[in-house]
Structure 1
Amino acid sequence: MAVGVLPGQANGWPPCLGGDSDVESAPFDTPPSPLSAVNDHADRAKGVNGHRPHSDPPSRFLDTLQNLGLGPSNGAHAGVSVFTAILPSTDGYVARSDFLQLRLQDFPFPIAKIQQCVDALKKYTAPRLSPASASSEDGLADLVEQAAGVIQWGDLEASVSILDLQQYLLGLTHELRDRLNDASWLTPRPIPRKRVALIRGRPNLTAGGHVYRAARALGLDLVIIDDEGHWLQLDTDDNRQHREAFLAVDMTEDAGVADRIIAAIARYPLPIHGVFTLSDNFFVTTARVAAALHLPANPVTAFETSVDKYRSRQLQNAPGHTARVSSVDDLDALLSSAAFTPVYPLIVKPTKGWSSECVSKVSAPADLASAVAKATARHGSAAVIEPFFDGPEIDVNFVLLDGEVLFCEVADEPPCRADRADANLNDTFSPEALTLPSALPAREQAVARNAMRDVLVRAGFRTGVFHVEARIVNSAVTYSDTGDGVVDLVLREGQDKEEAATAACKLIEINARPPGFRVSVPSRHTYGVDFFAAHMLAAVGDHDRLRLAARPFDHAPREGRTRGAQYWSRLVYVPAPKAGVVRWSSSRTGLSPCEELKRRRPDLRDRIVVAVDYCVPGDKVALYTDGARTYVAHLLVCSRVSRKEAIQIGEEVLREFRIDIEDDEKVMGM
């Protein structure tokens, strides 16, 4: 990394250049020192610092920066501009064109602009550097011209002292290493261009934008396969930015849907190297298409197990603990036999379903028939009756390669309405928030990782991205009020945080895909891992880049914060406060609820990482959709101070969110 420093005229520093040795900076008024390598595995970088007053005549260095759209816009600039040029010391092929944007997101130092200077799949030739490379402005210009990327940091005050500037550069260098050192983005072998088909395009740009952008950054040509009339079908300039082509297919979920998709792919004039889906009800179909076309994929039987909640429960089941019924009559017959003895509370849910829809917690025998009737009415599927596992609920997200865990994270879901001791059939398991990294004891996180990896492999999965929902029973921690209104995991009385001998991880369900577009956001920002990119790379069999995509940041663990996490984060779901027609409370300003919140509360705005509204004025919303809570927005907040602060900020955001919904009789009756 080459760092150039341009102080303003008022500073009065001498026009000389100084160098640093690794992260130990020399004074800036000393003679230049030799460049020294920073250990960055395959992509080692070089470091050097320098500065010049703006009062000097225009230079080639400034011209080079300005040609990239960087640098001060005029000579009257009075602040100190700092630039970092990314100069890998080895040749290689670019794995992802927006690598810097991905790895520098939420950087703790303000960034003015990032200029990525390479394209995906193209070869990058490392410059042959010498100590003289950064000892003049012409030399710095040469470095910038050969850089794989250049970062312009937010300007410092012109009055900043040399000591403060040196400390700033040291902190910046350490942070860059945590983000870039363990994530090589150049591969030694050429990367062939491949084409991947998404079966069932996303319903809108909000849900699909991350997928389309990741494909473009990876140099993957994306083909969408969906019903006639999908919004990506029209051959417009905007749609061409998101996909190469659209193949219209009758996607009716019948016995012939896989054959229709196979025929459409066969008619396409260009080769397709992989297929994937993000739609739960098309997992098995997509696996059958891949098998028929001899494309990379996990076995069809693995997906058949994962989408059937009765079959997937058998992966961990004890005899007599789980049952499947197709009707209330089946339930009556089951209860009259000795094969199944229900132990309350228990869970009733459709064998086929998602998003916690029509899932009921049954605490008394009188409610069991109603729960079965609700579950069997959804998708026309049977109902599974299984134990309710009491303990902290978690998401365990994996990137696997041939059974090897490339990346695993554990995230905490705080208790929802159905977790309450007095929950009834109308209370749902719809999530209310998600907190990263997990506050489970390290040993319990290891239990979850090992148990859920084994479940995936037993189901038949070997490679790909998997979102597993589970609970920890006999955990050493439980949710409790920790003070200041914060409910979080705390040690049970008399428990040792490191004692997890009796803790076990119990599967709730397997989702053979990345977490949903909402739940993927915290992982990408907290750890720097893009699950959608990894999912597509697995689909085309690009294992070299799959390994690169699964590498998290290298931030050291601190006060319970998992290695690799750059901060604590809290994903907040905003449920519809009532049923009716959406009327934004900020209609007079024209701002959406999320934007209005950030304007009204600038103190919260600086802690909000991502904010996404789901509704526009005139939309009709219900309290529940398919038996699960209806959400109107999600927001991700962060804290570099503590997990408790992240939770507090999330709760404050939820309290301050405002959306007007007018009563509507038609919606109220939904």
Structure 2
Amino acid sequence: MAVDVVLGAPTAQLHKPPQDVPGLPSDIVARPTSTSASPGSQPADDESFLRPFFWETIRLCELYSVVHVVLLPPSQLATRCACQSEIAGNGRRDPQGRQNPSSRLIHALHKAGCASIKFATTEISVFTCILPSTDGYVSRSDFMRLRLQDFPFPIQHIHDLLQPLQKYSAIAVDAEASLPSLIKHAAGIVQWAEVDNSISILALQERILDLTQELKYRLDAAPWLSPEPIARKRIALVRGRPNLTAGGPVYRAAEALGLDLVIISEEGHWLQPETEENKKHREAFISTDMTEDECVANRFVAAVKSYPLPIDGIFTLSDNFFVAVAKSAQALGLPTSPVLSYETSVDKYRSRLLQDEPGKTARVKSVAELKDLLQKPDQFSPSFPLIVKPTKGWSSECVSKVRKMDDLAVAVEKATARHGSTAVIEPFFDGPEMDVNFVLLNGEILFCEIADEPPCQADASNASVHDTFSPEALTMPSALPAHEQEIVRSTLRDILVNLGFRTGIFHVEARMVNSSYEYRDIGGGVIDLVTKRTLPLGEPTCRLIEINARPPGFRVTVPSKQTYGVDYFAAQMLAAVGDGNRLRMIAQPFQHAVAGSSAGSQYWSRLVYVPVPADGAVRLAEGLSPCEELKRRRPDLAEHIVMAMDHFGEGEKVTMYTDGARNYAANILVQSRKSRREAIEMGNEVLRSYKINIEA
């Protein structure tokens, strides 16, 4: 792919590279702008651009071609090209004699939609045009921002030039195509950060080569355009998100997909007022009684029917409304999984029976009923350690590990007090815990992500009934061996499909029993999965913990999108409106393969849960949030931080625990392109360095 170009020469010198570059196509057209026009003559289209500069077209993959354009700064042109008198006739000079970029080049870019593009006065400017290979309709307008997030080369600006659902007409990218035509037909243009003008030609060439390979990783097998027209649809979200931090990724995805979003939520929700800001996030708001009673599904149906425009799908991200929304969708004839599937998934007892062993799982509504049950060993024969949790619950609230009979009643009393729920008593599965996220279409796995959850307080062998199962971190992609990951995928997929879930996004928690890997201190305070010193005798088995028929919470969904390039919120909405074609399109991960992983993660990442350290009120130092303060104080860590979310602001009251589950002050995602170990080390250092001032 490499093209050796001598910038600034009257005619660029092109040399074939000594060998082909693995993974990149060889059909490249590389051209400098001609400098043969005589003073006063009318330049051709290509000759109207600033010279000397270099541009090349590359067929990146089957779906895309790219055009790289490199321009020297005016100061360098004045030095290198003072002898080329004809340049003065095509370019313009300021009063100091420095040449400015051609007004026609700027005009062409502005006409393409890059109104904010500017060229450096002292550095080298580089930009890249992305050109799809075929005609089609835009699946999502922010496709480039999604696929280029956390790009290893700094980006100055991404110009999204297409609108949702718009038709795009491709242009032949060949030796006959002029640069103005290619710019005109670009679906998007990336302006890279300026390059120091002291860079050597070889180094610049290598930079563009590496940049091209990285683009291939991100765009290969990731379609942007649908061959068929996409009908604009409308979707209802039951219960708006609590704030813009949690809701922003959902609302932005709906807009990019061309989905008109209607919010069905309680009176007084922050999205209800008809302000200009709220109108940016939703089309309309329908105030509805959200009381969780037997009639709530009927009220959702009435809300949808009351809207004057057709609604094509309905969904929720709130666990306590899954069943009601499924009933509503069924009554309205909208896409949904079976109501019975949701009823089973939200009931921890019924979902546990999907992998039950006789006599190992029980459900009780009180301590008194527990005592009666213990007198019937033919029905229930507990084997310690046990897990006790509410039949309906979330966030590890009121979940206890019980190691002895004396603590069983304590755990049951705690679980039954939560939401007036019954308590589930089930086996504790010893082995690495995983968060597994599926994108399914008609039972087919479009994408599956396995994230490792390191041991928490309650995983300790001496854990008490009061220790928590609240997560402390997630590491992606999984370090489990490939054959164990395949067991996880196939086992959990079969459970979902047999339960009736065939299309949608599913967040499943599980453990690998008899894994050949275990968590161990590998030095330097790093605890990670490594091969066991003594391999287990039994076969590895994946044991289900719970099913959540939704994407993971936004604290995890956003890091997954950044790591793999797959947006679960967008996928959830497309499933809800029955758009299987686009669901398949957006479920394509990156093509990177860190540590041989086939999952498509662009780097190793570590999501750190920062626990609230004390009860009290948050006080900000100098108006900076703790995450911003951390990044300013530790620029070495800031280089690895790709997402940082503080959950509390000035004066907000916080507590360490809610019903036995940890509360978090922040979630911070760190990455490493070097190694999984470095990602964990950076995460550990972030946790140690995070400071939040809480006034008792």
Smaller-chain TM-score bracket: over 0.9
For 1:97 and 1:379, the matched residues in 2 are separated by 42
Root mean square deviation of aligned Cα: 2.4
For 2:409 and 2:369, the matched residues in 1 are separated by 10
Query: Which residue does the alignment assign to 2:115?
Result: 69
Question: Aligned pair in 2 of structure 1 residues 19, 243: CA closer, same or farther (>3 Å)?
Answer: farther
CA contact (8 A) 1:19 1:35 kept: no
Letter in 2 for 1:205: L
* Equivalence map 1:54-453=2 (5 Å): 54=74, 55=77, 56=87, 57=91, 58-66=102-110, 68-73=114-119, 77-133=121-177, 139-338=178-377, 339-453=379-493
CA contact (8 A) 1:570 1:636 kept: yes
2:554 corresponds, among 505, 513, 517, to 517
For 1:234 and 1:330, the matched residues in 2 are separated by 49
Letter in 2 for 1:80: I
| 1:64-123 alpha-carbon deviations (Å, 9 max, x no partner) | 23561354356xx12111111011121000000000000000000111100010011010
CA contact (8 A) 2:559 2:643 kept: no
Deviates more, 1:30-39 or 1:191-200: 30-39
Question: Aligned pair in 2 of structure 1 residues 87, 560: CA closer, same or farther (>3 Å)?
Answer: closer
For 2:562 and 2:70, the matched residues in 1 are separated by 31
| 1:493-535 alpha-carbon deviations (Å, 9 max, x no partner) | 144xxx9971001010000000000011221011100000000
Question: Aligned pair in 2 of structure 1 residues 429, 36: CA closer, same or farther (>3 Å)?
Answer: closer
Deviation at 1:559, TM superposition (A): 2.5
The DSSP-based 3-state class of the residue aligned with 2:355 is coil
Query: Which residue does the alignment assign to 2:662?
Result: 629
CA contact (8 A) 1:18 1:48 kept: no
The DSSP-based 3-state class of the residue aligned with 1:286 is helix
CA contact (8 A) 1:572 1:636 kept: yes
Letter in 1 for 2:631: K
2:618 maps to 1:575: no
Deviation at 1:638, TM superposition (A): 0.1
| 1:543-579 alpha-carbon deviations (Å, 9 max, x no partner) | 0000011110011x34354441110000001101011
2:570 maps to 1:526: no
CA contact (8 A) 2:594 2:602 kept: no
Question: Aligned pair in 2 of structure 1 residues 262, 640: CA closer, same or farther (>3 Å)?
Answer: same
CA contact (8 A) 2:69 2:127 kept: no
CA contact (8 A) 1:5 1:51 kept: no
| 1:149-179 alpha-carbon deviations (Å, 9 max, x no partner) | 0001111111211111111111111110110
Identity rate of aligned residues, in percent? Answer: 58
Question: Aligned pair in 2 of structure 1 residues 26, 159: CA closer, same or farther (>3 Å)?
Answer: farther
CA contact (8 A) 1:469 1:509 kept: yes
For 2:3 and 2:667, the matched residues in 1 are separated by 39
* Equivalence map 1:499-578=2 (5 Å): 502-555=539-592, 557-578=593-614
| 1:233-257 alpha-carbon deviations (Å, 9 max, x no partner) | 0010110011000000000000111
CA contact (8 A) 2:447 2:587 kept: yes
For 2:537 and 2:632, the matched residues in 1 are separated by 46
For 2:648 and 2:3, the matched residues in 1 are separated by 45
For 2:537 and 2:205, the matched residues in 1 are separated by 46
For 2:239 and 2:209, the matched residues in 1 are separated by 48
Q: Which runs of 5+ in 2 are unaligned?
A: 35-53, 78-86, 92-101
User: Structure 1 length as normaliser, TM-score?
Assistant: 0.92
Q: Which runs of 5+ in 1 are unaligned?
A: 134-138, 664-670
Query: Which residue does the alignment assign to 1:617?
Result: 650
CA contact (8 A) 1:579 1:621 kept: yes
For 1:346 and 1:90, the matched residues in 2 are separated by 57
Count of aligned residue pairs for this structure pair? 643
Query: Which residue does the alignment assign to 2:636?
Result: 603
Query: Which residue does the alignment assign to 1:45?
Result: 65
CA contact (8 A) 1:86 1:150 kept: yes
Letter in 2 for 1:540: V
For 1:48 and 1:437, the matched residues in 2 are separated by 32
| 1:336-375 alpha-carbon deviations (Å, 9 max, x no partner) | 0121110000000000001101000000100001110110
CA contact (8 A) 1:475 1:500 kept: no
Question: Aligned pair in 2 of structure 1 residues 158, 14: CA closer, same or farther (>3 Å)?
Answer: farther
Letter in 1 for 2:59: A
Question: Aligned pair in 2 of structure 1 residues 18, 5: CA closer, same or farther (>3 Å)?
Answer: closer
For 1:494 and 1:377, the matched residues in 2 are separated by 42
For 2:148 and 2:238, the matched residues in 1 are separated by 31
2:678 corresponds, among 637, 645, 652, to 645
Letter in 2 for 1:623: M
For 1:472 and 1:432, the matched residues in 2 are separated by 19
For 2:461 and 2:247, the matched residues in 1 are separated by 38
CA contact (8 A) 1:6 1:81 kept: no
| 1:170-224 alpha-carbon deviations (Å, 9 max, x no partner) | 1111110110011001000000000000001111111111000000000000000
Greater radius of gyration (CA): 2
For 1:48 and 1:230, the matched residues in 2 are separated by 48
CA contact (8 A) 2:72 2:125 kept: no
The DSSP-based 3-state class of the residue aligned with 1:282 is helix
| 1:356-410 alpha-carbon deviations (Å, 9 max, x no partner) | 0100000010000111011011111111000000000001100000110000010
CA contact (8 A) 1:6 1:82 kept: no
Deviates more, 1:47-56 or 1:598-607: 47-56
User: Structure 2 length as normaliser, TM-score?
Assistant: 0.89
The DSSP-based 3-state class of the residue aligned with 2:523 is coil
Query: Which residue does the alignment assign to 1:667?
Result: none
Query: Which residue does the alignment assign to 1:136?
Result: none
Deviation at 1:46, TM superposition (A): 4.8
For 1:185 and 1:562, the matched residues in 2 are separated by 22
For 1:37 and 1:659, the matched residues in 2 are separated by 50
Question: Aligned pair in 2 of structure 1 residues 4, 148: CA closer, same or farther (>3 Å)?
Answer: farther
Letter in 2 for 1:69: A
CA contact (8 A) 1:437 1:562 kept: no
CA contact (8 A) 2:312 2:334 kept: yes
Question: Aligned pair in 2 of structure 1 residues 265, 466: CA closer, same or farther (>3 Å)?
Answer: same
For 2:476 and 2:638, the matched residues in 1 are separated by 20
